[in-house]
């Protein structure tokens, strides 16, 4: 019985880790530019920098002093992504500010 409990617990841990590292679907840059800062942050929170690079390409610029990227939309608006730096999984989006 103990063996099955330990095995079940191990499988549960693997499942939790797998789900926590799954990437969210990244909305299009134009879609994000139409959102409020709060909605954009909710949509992108936890997304990896690499997922953003894959979805949106290279940023227009980077922040100095803070870890973040600056993207420009076709309409000329700026979207700033601020990252948390995680040693286990690399930088993850923490908050978003959109130039109005």
Domain ranges, residue 56 = 25-98
End-to-end CA separation in angstroms for the chain: 61
Q: What is the count of structural domains for the chain?
A: 1
- Mean pLDDT confidence for 55-83: 93
Higher-confidence position of 63 and 2? 63
pLDDT confidence band for 19 (50 / 70 / 90): very low
pLDDT at 74: 87
Residue 10 in any domain: the answer is: no
pLDDT digits (tens, 9 = 90+) for 35-60: 999 999 999 999 999 999 999 999 99
Those residues whose C-beta lies under 8 Å from the C-beta of residue 81, and which sit 6 or more positions away, are 44, 49, 52, 59, 68, 69, 70, 71, 93, 95, 96
The pTM of this model reads: 0.73
Q: Would 41 be classed as within a structural domain? A: yes
Indicate whether 92 belongs to any domain: yes
Residue 36 domain-assigned (yes or no): yes
Residue 35 covered by a domain: yes
Residue 94: inside a domain: yes
């Amino acid at each position: 019985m103990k063996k099955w409990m330990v095995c079940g617990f191990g499988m549960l841990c693997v499942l939790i880790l797998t789900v926590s590292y799954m990437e969210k679907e990244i909305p299009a840059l134009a879609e994000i530019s139409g959102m409020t800062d709060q909605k954009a942050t909710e949509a992108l929170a936890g997304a990896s920098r690499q997922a953003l690079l894959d979805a949106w390409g290279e940023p227009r610029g980077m922040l100095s002093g803070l870890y973040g990227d600056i993207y420009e939309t076709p309409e000329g608006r700026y979207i700033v992504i601020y990252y948390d730096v995680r040693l286990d999984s690399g930088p993850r989006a923490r908050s978003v500010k959109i130039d109005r």
